[in-house]
Amino acid sequence: MTAPVRSERPSIFDRFTRNRRGLVGGLVVAIMLTAGALAPALAPQSYSSQSLLNRLQPPSAAHWLGTDGFGRDVLSRVIWGSRVSLEIALFATALSLVVGTAVGSVAGYFGGGVDTAIMRAADVFLSVPALFLILIVVALFGASLANTALVIALVTWAPVGRIVRSECLSLRNRDFVHAAAALGAGHARILGRHLLVNALPIVIVQASLLLGQTILIESGLSYLGLGAQPPLPSWGNMVVEGRQFLASAWWIATFPGLAIFVTVLGFNLFGDGLRDASDPTLRGHSP
Amino acid sequence: MEPGLRTYILKRVGFAVLMLVGVSIILFTIMRLAPGGPEAVLIGGEFSQEAAAQIRQRLGLDRPLALQYLGWAGGALRGDLGRSFKTGDPVAALILDRLGPTIQLTFGALALALVVAVPLGVVAAVRRGTIWDTLGSAVALFGVSFPSFWLGIMLILLFSEVFHVLPPSGLSEYGREAELAARVRHAILPTLTLGLIQMASFMRFTRSSLLEVLRQDYVRTARAKGLSGGRVVWRHALRNALIPVVTVVGLSLPTLVGGAVLTETVFAWPGIGRLAVGAVFERDYPVIMGVNLMVAAVVISANLLTDLAYCVIDPRISYR
């Protein structure tokens, strides 16, 4: 007997590594996550150490990205700032995926009244402009990490739920699901072991795209003064502080914003690459 | 009108009203559950418990939550959204005052986005795999990755600080009487900011929708008849390809209005978004409720109209 031959079809991993844009995105994401995790070791200076003699210095060998209005090193603050953004983004995305996946799979699997009720609730959440709702909750309840993450999850679960639902709708009538039911598998087992496992690639793709979105939302909140409070740096509040020096010191507002853009671009490229790898027929089709 | 369609429309309108009620209840509850209230902002500094209680009573905040809601909803039905806690002005008047600039900004951005995105999407689909396609997907990708407030600031840096060709902000200083030229000059950067962000999804949708349609048999028939490529695309394919794009435009309204909040803040644009931000910081409940209800109403009606437009544009869709 010979060992069973695996199919010749390239694996998701193989297809992903051949996707140059996806790889670049993955690399950017990895660099940013590392920077956030190792901020204390990587940042040349503390995020709060001031030096009024060194105010508003342009980028130089000593301060690669220049210094801000308090003489603080902009590079160090950008590195520290990645922590705040990424923490909230990871937390909010995890929450949104758990809720969206649970709700969406139940709606798609059971269908009927359950499906209608859940999807109508999703419609209500989709029709409130997200930023308005987030603004209200964060301003009234306080801008803690937990509050911000919770409310971002509150406005982002609905699209995830819709996507998971439609995936489960199309999976539930497949032969392997009928076979599992015929063998006596209960609802929980079919959902967990058969539907969700097959919907997983789509959920992972959503995770990557959602991380980019939540970083944008968080930075917007910070910009409005509803994120991390000074002196703790977040990319959004650094842009606000740089705004007043725009005419004399362009680097203060420019680099933190660039960090947001590059990180979000990285997550989007990574997500697109993953989607193309997991299902080549979807290439270029997503909104 | 056939009966099926009429029932469908009635059902959809009924549901839209229900949704609006749902949104208002959610908002009302969230606001009243929040710790702290408007009294701290109104009095400012130190204050006694009695003074706070007095203010809460004057504003009607001491009544049971359900009664407060019913009182507010009753007024709202008659078009009375209450008065601002802070200034005492009628909320409806405050909103009307700020509505014009926001409508100008969002519709300008929407028009700009469509004018650029649809042709770019068409070219990207027709010349699939060429440099145009790559350019199109770059625009789409950048559009969804830019933080709008930063894009706005970078545009200010470029056009106001470096080249000194456009004003950075401050439409409010000129007010309503400002001459047209000044108003247009002030509108360019905010509209560009919001439009660039919005372009991405329109362009992606036009491209993928047109690619889908170009594969259809009737397109092949049109080609086989000997029609030129351009005629086939613009006269035959694009019409059908734009149907899903209409939906996306309708669905993009929440993002557009949300984006207006940040854009208005960056450019000191005297619109609804800044009104909302200010009200939230001052805990001006009636203004928060009024603005959000109005925005939700606009979004819900836009979704409703999109769905109904669908029935008219595409007779194949069945109403259930």
**Which tokens go with A216?**
């944008």
| Confidence check: pLDDT of B101 > 80 | yes
Query: What's the rounded Cα separation, in Å, for the pair B316 and B240?
Result: 12
Chain A partners within 8 Å of B166 (Cβ) = none
Provide φ and ψ at A228, rounded to 5°: -60, 140
Q: How far is A129 from chain B (nearest CA, A)?
A: 4
pLDDT at A53: 81
Mutate to test the interface with A, among B33, B149, B248 (most CBs of A within 10 A): B149
Band (B285; pLDDT cuts 50, 70, 90): confident
CB B162 within 8 A of CB B73: no
Chain A residue with CA closest to B303: the answer is: A127
Chain B partners within 8 Å of A142 (Cβ) = 35
Helix (H) / strand (E) containing B142: helix B131-145
The closest of B247, B261, B255, B269 to B156, measured between CA atoms, is B269
pLDDT at B50: 80
Q: What is the CA radius of gyration of chain B?
A: 24
For residue A59, the 8-state DSSP code is: S
By the CB < 8 Å criterion, does A117 face chain B?
no
Chain A residue with CA closest to B160: the answer is: A247
Q: What is the overall mean pLDDT for chain B?
A: 84
pLDDT at A274: 86
pLDDT at A3: 54
By the CB < 8 Å criterion, does A131 face chain B?
yes
CA quadruple A85, A88, A91, A92: dihedral, nearest 10: -110
Q: pLDDT (tens digit, 9 = 90+) per residue, B14-49?
A: 988 888 888 888 888 888 887 777 776 777 667 777
Amino acid identity at A29: V
pLDDT at A34: 92
Residues of chain A with pLDDT under 50: 1, 283-287
pLDDT at A287: 38
Provide φ and ψ at B85, rounded to 5°: -60, -35
Lookup result for tokens 């397109």: B219
Lookup result for tokens 């005492």: B88
Q: Closest to B31 (Cβ–Cβ): which among A124, A140, A247?
A: A140
Band (B154; pLDDT cuts 50, 70, 90): very high
Provide φ and ψ at B299, rounded to 5°: -65, -45
Query: What's the rounded Cα separation, in Å, for the pair B169 and B172?
Result: 9
pLDDT at A286: 41
Query: What's the rounded Cα separation, in Å, for the pair B206 and B121?
Result: 5
Chain A partners within 8 Å of B156 (Cβ) = 246
Q: Closest to B147 (Cβ–Cβ): which among A127, A128, A219?
A: A219
pLDDT at B113: 93
For residue A83, the 8-state DSSP code is: H
Chain A partners within 8 Å of B300 (Cβ) = 127
Q: Give the mean pLDDT of B223-248.
A: 80
Band (B151; pLDDT cuts 50, 70, 90): very high
Proportion of chain B above pLDDT 70, given as a percent: 92
The closest of A5, A116, A20, A78 to A262, measured between CA atoms, is A78
Query: What's the rounded Cα separation, in Å, for the pair A226 and A147?
Result: 11
Among A259-263, B3-7, B315-319, name the one with the lowest average pLDDT.
B315-319
Mutate to test the interface with B, among A131, A144, A214, A245 (most CBs of B within 10 A): A131
